[in-house]
A = this chain, B = another copy of it.
Amino acid sequence: MNDAQRITGVLSPVVTPFRADLAADPDRFVRQCRWLSSQNVGLAVFGTNSEANSLSVDEKIELLDRLVGAGIDPARMMPGTGHCALPDSVRMTAHAVKLGCAGALMLPPFYYKGVSDDGLFRSFAEVIERVGESRLRVYLYHIPPVAQVPITLGLVERLLKAYPQQVAGMKDSSGDWNNTKAFLDAFAPSGFDVFAGSETFLLRNMRNGGRGCISATANVHPGPIARLYDRWQGADADAQQARLDEIRTVFQKFPMIPALKAAIAHYGRDASWATVRPPLVALTREQAQALVTELDQKQFTMPGL
């Protein structure tokens, strides 16, 4: 991989469609990824918002194969590949590299809490060594509210020193701008690509040397978020950011993943999209109606879906 061509911009942790029997639905998944691609949004499939940790490794490999098989460009894909178990992370990461994916977004092993940076360094190092591919690009996934296991500045420093070629960047889903800023200040000047964990921080991230965002709401509001990325140096950037924030605020009033799926079900006229796997629960009819009412009031649309 030519590092001048590293993946940047706005990526969506693509929500995963399920059939009524809770099986993953590859056809709807491919259609959704095509639509997101048409909106100039990259595919961070198998993220938190994808219910990735409710999918087996076999299911994820099958879905990724279907995407690539359908002709969607792996150079615009950054699948989640980090699992609790080392063999699962190695298997999923190796498969993503084999398919030519631009990067692998890697959760730390998240079952054991209070683990040391030594242990986390070794976790990532073992994956990188066992995959053994110079073209692997790892993006470290910091999401302490969910994983409860953080990616620290010290860990990134050690990983960059040991694997300067493979350790390419991170997604910061801490929700704490000061944390994102600390990573930008420390590592962005030497080519470490920081993605904000939502478009809330997209403009600030770009103004401070970041490379884009990977956001739940890019599933439903992809075009406008991608436009801010393209025009972040434009005169209307702050106004664009304010409009993005307004829409995101509506989604944040509801459980995020079921709300994303309810919006896709409604605006895409495809009720089956509302299905989530346990332990998540779909929005109630009343919640879904309240979501749509509020989005309609804000002239929200999903053009082309």
Contact = CB atoms under 8 A, between A and B. Distances in A.
Interface of A: 22, 48, 53-59, 84-88, 91, 108-113, 115-116, 118-120, 122-123, 126, 145-149, 277-281
A146 B112 contact: yes
Given A22-B126, A126-B22, A54 B279 contact: no
Nearest to A116: B281
Q: Oligomeric state, in number of copies?
A: 2
A279 B120 contact: yes
Given A22-B126, A54-B85, A109-B54, A115 B279 contact: yes
A248 B146 CA distance: 31
Given A126-B22, A148-B148, A86 B281 contact: no
Contacts of A86: 22, 54, 277-278
Contacts of A122: 278-279, 281
A59 B87 contact: yes
A104 to B, nearest CB: 17
Given A110-B111, A126-B22, A146-B112, A84 B281 contact: no
A87 B56 CA distance: 6
Question: In the complex, which of the residues A22, A55, A58, A112 has the most CB atoms of chain B within 10 Å of its own CB atom?
Answer: A112
